[in-house]
Amino acid sequence: MVIPHYNGEEILCECLESLYNSTQIPLEVILVDNASSDESVAMVRERFPSVKIIQLPSNHGFAGGCNIGIRQAAGEYVLILNNDTVHEKGWLELLLTKLESDADLAAVQPKIRSFHNPQQFDYSGAAGGEMDIFAFPFTRGRIVEFIEKDIGQYDSLPSRIFWASGTAFLARRQSLIDVGLFDGTFFAHMEEIDLQWRLQLAGYHIAIEPRAVIYHRSGYTLGAESPLKKYLNHRNSLLMFLANYRLPLTLYLLPIRLMLDYLALGFSLLRLDFGRVLAILKAHGWLLVHPNFVFRKRRHAQSLRKVSDEQILARLYRGTIALSFYIFKKRCFSDLSCYQNTTVSRKQ
């Protein structure tokens, strides 16, 4: 189990207490501390002496911290877990049973509810991650900023999803290593989607176990209005779009993707959201000055490919989630009827 951490002594303590009280599975817990400036590490040494601590001299972000922990882990399976979560009893056993039940699965996530509003889905993962063809992610239970109450409406859907939230997912450790682990350049945000897209290119599937439930303080590390978060979301989404499709489909969809970005820029100008305007421009600028990195990332992703883009597209929403939300007023996953028709036919 790998917990990347940067400050937040109290939430980390609550997370570890909940973790040990929620499962009977013997745990190897690896805390990767990204150069915290508080007393987190001292607290863990005193209260949780069995936790293995890796102290880094600088902040490697979520992606870099997780990679270091995964390489140090000894087990066949590895749980990636945010430090701002608490957990219902038996959740980890359910994830393990689900993963072991299907050799095609590389990763499985629990249902994620809000810590502050426990009857409501959490922003970061909800009832399973989905994505549109332009690499804009959403979830079953959360589209853009609209978040649903959990009344079990997605519990009976096919369990296969496009991405499992980095908030918490159990994975086959060697499979993560085989596809190159998290991309450290992402630093934070969408790195789990990029990783799991590569896992799917390699022939695996991703799933949710809705009977396993945890609670998450979404946005604790980087709030929704953080300029860094806005920038990373835009850059990382475009980066994985450019890397993971074959070239013909990339070139076909790219003009539409860029148009959507600049529509978002114009809309942000009208709302005087200059932070998002700067984030979009900065994200595009980064990609323009790093073409060699994009090329190397593409080459690595394509070297893993065992499935076609047609098979990947069958797992995606064939429209644009942004226009569906803002123009057509779609607010729930169940509103996306053209997506449901493909989703219900997925293998369990």
Q: How confident is the model at residue 338 (pLDDT cuts 50, 70, 90)?
A: low
Q: How confident is the model at residue 222 (pLDDT cuts 50, 70, 90)?
A: low
Helices (H) and strands (E) in the chain, counts: 13, 13
The full set of domains in the chain, from first to last, is: 2-216 (3.90.550.10), 227-343 (no CATH)
Give CA–CA dist 277/256, Å, rounded. Answer: 18
Which residues lie closer than 8 Å to 253 by C-beta, 6 or more apart?
A: 133, 134, 241, 245
Classify strands 2-5 and 30-33 as parallel, antiparallel or unpaired: parallel
Classify strands 205-216 and 105-114 as parallel, antiparallel or unpaired: parallel
Distance of alpha carbon 159 from its chain centroid, rounded? 16
The pLDDT, as a whole number, for residue 96 is 98
Residue 337 pLDDT greater than 70, yes or no: no
Tens-digit pLDDT profile for residues 237-284: 999 999 999 999 999 999 999 999 999 999 999 999 999 999 999 999
C-alpha closest to that of 171 among 237, 126, 108: 108
Contact present, 1 and 25 (Cβ < 8 Å): no
The pLDDT, as a whole number, for residue 226 is 80
> Measured in Å, how far apart are the chain's first and last C-alpha atoms?
26
The DSSP result for 38-78, as a single string, is: SSHHHHHHHH-TTSEEEE-SS--HHHHHHHHHHHH--SSEE
Tens-digit pLDDT profile for residues 290-309: 999 999 999 999 999 999 99
The pLDDT, as a whole number, for residue 340 is 55
Read off the tokens for 165: 């939230």
Question: Which residue is it, tokens 């073409």?
Answer: 291
